[in-house]
């Protein structure tokens, strides 16, 4: 649901903009991902099994166009990385609504040096699979791939694999062609570093007091002020860094015992307002449950760009938010995810456009925001989530920030100590260039392959 509004969160804006004006970024604010307009097919995926002996990609083909599609013209590709140069693989169909006899599978090889995959499973259909009417789907395709010698398969580095994808959802890492023309998804390519002015940070620090943070233009917020619970503290020591699966990960922790004095929130933001048009990206882990203590607090977990409100209802204010509320808040009673683009706010009302999804967003997500001279587009896990109007385009540069805070103390009224965590794997900004989510992934892979943990060539103004 995308809604222009003049009434969401007006009381929080003043405190938030005051914090930015003081050099402190502050917290900010949705339909489930769907096929982009004009694409005749979408591919949905779920991880159909666990263990290491085989991969179990379960797929559905959905006709999102306005004309019938004959399935024998459709081919799908699921991409993976071989476990050794000499490994051979075999395909199996366990069950298909259209009949396994009407489903074919072949293993192919990708020879592009440095690509994120070197093998693929290509799925085809015979004429007996029939036709997909507009709006119809193929039903389950319960498929398997295994090594011919039945040695273990390491799926963690497989391009198309999604360990947490336990229910069907659109999946851009599986491609689809109709009559040989690709109509869905993004194939893996060799990683490339974007040209032009770029900020990339792999967040490889020792702690909130690491001198490199300030040298690289970052700040872990301290002190008081909004948004959130009046009297709460922004605690820089609640911003920590540790290695996970070979990458450095930043953790933002928020803790409370049900009082303002015990509430300690966390925020990490750039010092300079120098980011405007271009691509913003981060890999963020949202959570539904506390890491300790009882659940229920009205928590906000976010990734956003923002500048300061110079006067009430000033028309050069800008703010662009990814926000997850695992326990509701702002009048919501359960988990909800927002993307929001702001024009202004003040006594005359707030002006913004937002999109929501009322479902759990717990887990790691690739978040991409692109801004050019015509549109603001938000992507989640490689799929367009929302597109907001040109009236909300930024007129001045902004800071980049992450924070986790409590909007109030009404969600959980007990006095037992509890704490929550949001995690961030990396942050990327490419000035004045709109990258696809696949290009973002390629850029991050290229920086990591080169051993680059930080670069910032974005000019100060």
pLDDT tens-digit map of 341-386: 999 999 988 999 999 999 999 999 999 999 999 999 999 988 899 9
Q: Is the pTM of this model over 0.85?
A: no
Whole-number Å distance between alpha carbons of 181 and 202 = 36
The pLDDT, as a whole number, for residue 445 is 85
Q: Which residues of 169-190 are buried (b: 16+ CB within 10 A; e: fewer)?
A: bbbbbbbbbbeeeebbbbbbbe
**What mean pLDDT is predicted for residues 177-191?**
89
**What mean pLDDT is predicted for residues 43-52?**
87
The pLDDT, as a whole number, for residue 245 is 74
pLDDT band at residue 421 under the 50/70/90 scheme: very high
The pLDDT, as a whole number, for residue 39 is 62
pLDDT tens-digit map of 7-44: 345 334 444 444 444 443 333 333 333 333 346 899 99
The better pLDDT of the pair 206, 51 is held by 206
Handedness of CA 45, 50, 55, 58 (dihedral sign): negative
Weakest-pLDDT range from 48-52, 87-91, 97-101, 360-364: 48-52
pLDDT tens-digit map of 123-136: 999 999 999 999 99
Strand partners, 341: 320, 353
**What mean pLDDT is predicted for residues 50-55?**
81
Residue 257 has pLDDT above 50, yes or no: yes
- Distances from the Cα of 449 to the Cα of 129, 192, 249, 282, angstroms: 43, 10, 17, 18
Residue 90 has pLDDT above 90, yes or no: yes
Strand partners, 254: 420
Residue 5 has pLDDT above 50, yes or no: no
Whole-number Å distance between alpha carbons of 122 and 10 = 51
**What mean pLDDT is predicted for residues 229-251?**
94
pLDDT tens-digit map of 93-115: 999 999 999 999 999 998 876 67
**What mean pLDDT is predicted for residues 421-426?**
97
**Which residue in this structure is represented by tokens 């029939």?**
130
pLDDT band at residue 77 under the 50/70/90 scheme: very high
Look over the chain and give the mean of its residue pLDDT values, rounded to a whole number: 90
Strand partners, 353: 4, 341
The pLDDT, as a whole number, for residue 157 is 81
Residue 441 has pLDDT above 90, yes or no: no
Q: Are 8 and 29 in contact (CB under 8 A)?
A: yes
**What mean pLDDT is predicted for residues 154-167?**
87
Structure tokens at 158: 């497989």
pLDDT tens-digit map of 292-335: 999 999 999 999 999 999 999 999 999 999 999 999 999 999 99
The pLDDT, as a whole number, for residue 6 is 39
The pLDDT, as a whole number, for residue 28 is 33
- Kindly tell me the burial class for residue 73, based on how many C-beta atoms sit within 10 Å of its own C-beta (0-12, 13-18, 19 or more): middle
The pLDDT, as a whole number, for residue 209 is 97
Residue 219 has pLDDT above 80, yes or no: yes
Q: Which residues of 240-255 are buried (b: 16+ CB within 10 A; e: fewer)?
A: bbeeeeebbbbbbbbb
**What mean pLDDT is predicted for residues 249-269?**
98
Q: Are 153 and 54 in contact (CB under 8 A)?
A: yes
Q: Three-state SS across 44-94?
A: EEEECCCCCCCECEEEEEEECCCCCEEHHHEEEEEEECCCCCCCCEEEEEE
How many percent of the chain have pLDDT more than 70? Answer: 91
């Amino acid at each position: 649901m995308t809604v222009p509004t003049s009434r969401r969160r007006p009381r929080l804006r003043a405190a938030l903009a005051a914090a930015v004006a003081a050099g402190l970024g502050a917290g900010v604010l949705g339909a489930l991902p769907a096929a982009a307009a004009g694409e005749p097919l979408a591919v949905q995926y779920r991880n159909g099994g666990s263990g290491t002996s085989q991969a179990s990609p379960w797929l559905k083909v959905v006709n999102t166009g306005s004309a019938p599609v004959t399935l024998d013209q459709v081919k799908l590709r699921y991409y993976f990385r071989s476990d050794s140069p000499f490994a051979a693989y075999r395909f199996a169909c366990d069950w298909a609504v259209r009949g396994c006899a009407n489903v074919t599978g072949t293993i192919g090889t990708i020879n592009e040096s440095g690509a994120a995959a070197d093998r693929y499973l290509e799925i085809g259909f015979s004429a007996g699979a029939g036709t997909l009417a507009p709006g119809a789907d193929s039903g389950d395709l319960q498929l398997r791939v295994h090594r011919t010698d039945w040695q273990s398969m390491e799926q963690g580095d497989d391009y198309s694999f999604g360990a947490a994808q336990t229910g069907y959802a659109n999946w851009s890492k599986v491609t689809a062609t109709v009559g040989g023309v690709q109509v869905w998804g993004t194939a893996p390519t060799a990683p490339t570093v974007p040209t032009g002015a770029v900020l990339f940070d792999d967040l490889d620090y020792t702690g909130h007091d690491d001198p490199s943070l300030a040298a690289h233009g970052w700040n872990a917020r301290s002190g008081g002020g909004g948004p959130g619970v009046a009297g709460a503290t922004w605690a820089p020591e609640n911003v920590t860094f540790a290695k996970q699966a070979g990458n450095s990960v930043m953790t933002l922790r928020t803790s409370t015992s049900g009082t303002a004095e015990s509430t300690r929130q966390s925020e990490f933001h750039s010092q300079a307002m120098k980011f405007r048009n271009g691509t913003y990206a981060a890999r963020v882990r949202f959570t539904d449950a506390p890491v300790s203590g009882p659940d229920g607090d009205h928590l906000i977990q976010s990734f956003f760009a923002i500048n300061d409100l110079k006067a009430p209802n000033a028309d050069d204010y800008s703010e662009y938010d990814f926000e997850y509320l695992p326990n509701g808040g702002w009048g919501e009673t359960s988990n909800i995810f927002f993307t929001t683009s702001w024009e202004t706010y003040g006594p005359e009302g707030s002006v913004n456009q937002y999109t929501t999804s009322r479902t759990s967003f717990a887990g790691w997500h690739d978040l991409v925001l692109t801004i050019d001279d015509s549109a603001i587009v938000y992507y989640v896990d490689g799929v367009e989530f929302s597109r907001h109007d040109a009236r909300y385009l930024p007129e001045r540069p902004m800071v980049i920030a992450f924070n986790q805070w409590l909007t109030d103390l009404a969600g959980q009224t007990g006095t037992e100590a509890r704490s929550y965590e949001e995690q961030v794997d990396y942050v990327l900004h490419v000035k004045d260039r709109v990258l696809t989510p696949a290009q973002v992934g390629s850029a991050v892979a290229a920086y990591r392959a080169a051993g680059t943990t930080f670069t910032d060539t974005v000019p100060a103004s």
